[in-house]
Amino acid sequence: MNVGIVCYASVGGSGIVATELAKALADRGHQVRLISTEMPFRASNLRVGLAFHAVQTPGYPLFREPQYLLSLANKIVQVSREYQLDIIHAHYAIPHAAAAYLARQILANRPGTKVPHVITTLHGTDVTLIGSDSSYSETAAFCIDQSDGVTAVSESLRDDTYREMPVRADIRVIPNFLDCSYHHRSENPVLRARFTGEDPETKLVIHVSNFRPVKRAEAVIDIFDRIRQRVPSRLLLVGDGPDLDKAGRRARELGLADAVEQLGEQEEVVPLLSVSDLFLLPSERESFGLAALEAMACQVPVVASRVGGLPEIIDHGVTGFLHPPDDIDAMAASAVAMLTDPASHRVVSEAALAAVLQRFCANEIVPRYEAFYQEVIDREPTPSFATSPLAHR
């Protein structure tokens, strides 16, 4: 099968999952074309069957801003025509579903040209923040509906899409996944000693995100403050974004600056997770929670908000802990309980790993995408306008 995958190159769940899907499909014998503005995050180790095509968006004095949508659609047309794509898989609705729709219309208007099927995968903020905005909602919903197939990464996101946007398409839930041959705990005493100062009593707490407001970075610091009052510990902040400075400022206000280490963006997070004892994710919203899943695969107990798709991957009290987003005290209490009870920590860590291995590894999820691709190809090329499951609620 010839597949074109369109995604953002920057750090974030949608780009990471799209890239991992591209690599997994190539490993399974498909011909895959990654289409983005630059080499996507975590796509450096390309392999046979996987190629990258850059989208160039020139600027002209006539335009007030670069016309990325048009240049992306043009690149999709070129790649599809050159490599006879069967599927264009757009990750993130805005603007990728729109570009895929436009590209398909252009190809359909060329006699004798193969017209690929379009699949759109919804990842979260493309629905909950951007797509639901009145400036974009009608266009986004139209392009989603015009896709030949639509998936969402969680049941929560599927329901949010029907609730917040005028979408009629049938949305299939296919969750995010990990390459479990890579995402697993790998002990590194030297790296751990670098962060703990070689103190065996010091625990390492970690938070990985893009530090957007929805991640509530200041709440991470507040929870850690409560943890540190009970347990010798240090906090690793991994990633970068607009709220990282706020987190650093809050740490200084609480006298925690020396106990908080900002590591910036890291392409390889497994080594850092593998030396950590606890993962904090007190987000306001999480359509799935890929960072939490990565922590679970590395046997790091997760303390997180009970929001969005997180309850679909974390079983409270069994594979991790979920609390209302504003209940900082409860999150801190769960964290302290894990860090002070080695036996319970081991039980939760092992249960978290077992859940990942059973439900979220690539060998479980990628075949579901392959089956969906084939199902879409075997259908008539017209989109399916199923009645929203929430329409009668």
The pLDDT of residue 314 is 98
- If asked whether residues 13 and 158 sit together in one domain, one would say yes
Q: Clarify whether residues 332 and 218 are in a common domain.
A: yes
Measured between alpha carbons, how far is 54 from 385 in angstroms, rounded to an integer? Answer: 33
Q: Are residues 154 and 208 in the same domain?
A: no
The answer on 332 and 204 residing in a single domain is yes
What strand order describes the sheet that includes 321-323? 260-264, 233-238, 203-208, 278-281, 302-305, 321-323
Mean pLDDT within 135-147: 88
Q: Average pLDDT of 173-183? A: 95
User: How many domains would you assign to the chain?
Assistant: 2
Looking at the structure, tell me whether residues 152 and 193 fall in a common domain: no
Q: What is the mean pLDDT of residues 268-283?
A: 97
Say whether pLDDT at 55 is over 70: yes
Is there a single domain that holds both residue 12 and residue 133?
yes
Q: In the 8-state DSSP scheme, what is residue 257?
A: G
The reply to whether 108 and 237 lie within a common domain is: no
Could you tell me if residue 231 is inside a domain?
yes
Q: What's the CA gap between 279 and 266, in Å, rounded?
A: 16
On the question of pLDDT at 389 being above 50, the answer is no
- Band of pLDDT at residue 306, cut at 50, 70 and 90: very high
| Per-residue 3-state assignment (H helix, E strand, C coil) for 177-215 | CECCCCCCCCCCHHHHHHHHCCCCCCEEEEEECCCCHHH
User: Within a domain: residue 119?
Assistant: yes
Q: In this structure, are 218 and 316 located in the same domain?
A: yes
Q: Using alpha carbons, select from 304, 341, 289 the residue that is nearest to residue 223.
A: 304
- Same domain for 307 and 237: yes
Are residue 118 and residue 146 in the same domain, yes or no? yes
Whether 11 has a pLDDT exceeding 60, the answer reads no
Does the pLDDT at position 385 exceed 80? no
Give residue 392's pLDDT. 36
> Comparing 96-105, 280-289, 377-386, which segment has the lowest mean pLDDT?
377-386
Token pair, residue 152, equals 């969402």
390 in any annotated domain = no
Tell me: do 193 and 327 sit in the same domain: yes
Q: What is the CATH number of the domain that holds 346?
A: 3.40.50.2000
What does the pLDDT read at residue 286?
Answer: 94
CA-to-CA distance for 217 and 203, rounded, in angstroms? Answer: 20
Q: Which residue range forms the structural domain that includes residue 302?
A: 189-359
Q: What is the pLDDT of residues 323-348, one digit of tens each?
A: 999 999 999 999 999 999 999 999 99
Report the pLDDT value the prediction gives residue 390, as an integer from 0 to 100: 44
